[in-house]
Amino acid sequence: QVQLVESGGGVVQAGGSLRLSCAASGGTFSIYRMGWFRQAPGKEREFVAAISWSGALTSYPDSVKGRFTISRDNAKNTVYLQTNNLEPEDTAVYYCAARRARGPLTDWSTVDYWGQGTQVTVSS
C-alpha cells in the first residue's frame, strides 16, 4: 500500500506562488505516474497536472498551463506542484494521486492512491 501526504498549502495573495509537495511511502514510487487534482466547494474535481514515471512527460489543462509546473524527485519519493500567478479561482483543496498504468497521461479514469489534500486559498 502506498501512502501519499500533501503539504505546502496555505493562504496567499493573488499573484503569489505556492509550492505543494506530495511525499509517498510504502511502495516503489518511480513506477507510478503522479497527478494533482483540485476541488473547490460546490465544484467537481478538476484535473490539474500529471507527470510520467520518469518525469519526461507532463500534462496540464488550459486553466493552469503556463502557471503551474509539476515535477518529481524519485530519489526523495516526492512530487511537487509549483503554482505561480495564483488567482482567487485557484482556491481549492489540492490532492495528490498515483496510478500505475499505461496509456495517455491524461487518463485518470482510475486512481490507485489518493492523498488527504492540502488547502490552497488565494485572496484578492
pLDDT value of residue 101: 86
pLDDT value of residue 102: 84
pLDDT value of residue 4: 97
Q: How far is 90 from 17, CA to CA, in rounded Å?
A: 11
In contact, 91 and 121? CB cutoff 8 Å = yes
**Residue 74: strand, helix, or coil:** helix
Instruction: Count the Cβ atoms, other than its own, within 10 Å of residue 20.
Output: 23
pLDDT value of residue 46: 96
Enter the DSSP assignment of 119: E
Matching residue, cell 526523495: 76
Instruction: Count the Cβ atoms, other than its own, within 10 Å of residue 53.
Output: 16
What pLDDT tens digit does each residue of the chain (124 aa) get? 899 999 999 999 999 999 999 999 988 888 899 999 999 999 999 999 999 998 999 999 999 999 999 999 999 999 999 999 999 999 999 999 999 988 899 999 999 999 999 999 999 9
CA dihedral 111, 99, 55, 121 (to 10 degrees): 30
- Specify the amino acid at residue 81: L
